[in-house]
Chain A
Amino acid sequence: RKEVEQDPGPFNVPEGATVAFNCTYSNSASQSFFWYRQDCRKEPKLLMSVYSSGNEDGRFTAQLNRASQYISLLIRDSKLSDSATYLCVVNPWGKLIFGQGTELSVKP
């Protein structure tokens, strides 16, 4: 079983759509959780941390369910500039373990 598993994608959506990304992780000792964004041929950049209470940053909402070992990211009112690969990341002490990423393409 992969340590971090994401929807395979790609997701192709029109502008304004709502998109949901799902992720599961296998290491129950994981301490912290993140969503990263990676643009084509660039380095990953932190999009947002994920907390058990859920957190929101503008159009982006992240949720964590520790019991189910499940993480989600919701993007509302998607923009062309949201097109990228979204990486689910868990941190079991000192190292970031990445999922394979889900590619999002937002079309006009």
Chain B
Amino acid sequence: ETGVTQTPRHLVMGMTNKKSLKCEQHLGHNAMYWYKQSAKKPLELMFVYSLEERVENNSVPSRFSPECPNSSHLFLHLHTLQPEDSALYLCASSQDNGEGYYGYTFGSGTRLTVV
């Protein structure tokens, strides 16, 4: 495995379900991100983890709960979602060398549909 891998690729869930999105990076990076891409909208940054610590949470509703157990893995736990949460969820990783973040690489995304 190389790069950034996301699973599942597609997910359909009901509003009362609980599910998790998984992201794994094999690049040795120390920062990981969740982005949301809705139709006809720019990518929106949701969460940033640097050195396994959450450094940014862009006013994301609490029905989205991130988890970063180590520098290679990132999860997004989902519960009681709304239909408007249907979107492409993209994970990315990069390397923080203290002077900036480099080598941004995206996973292929999870296409989520909430019914």
Contacts and interface: CB of A to CB of B under 8 A. Distances in A.
A97 B101 CA distance: 13
Interface residues of B, number: 23
Interface residues of A, number: 21
Given A43-B108, A95-B33, A4 B100 contact: no
How would you classify the secondary structure of chain A's contact residues: helix, strand, loop or mixed? Answer: loop
Given A43-B106, A43-B108, A101-B42, A95 B100 contact: no
A97 B45 contact: yes
Interface in A23-58: 31-32, 41-46
A41 B48 CA distance: 23
B96 interface: yes
B53 interface: no
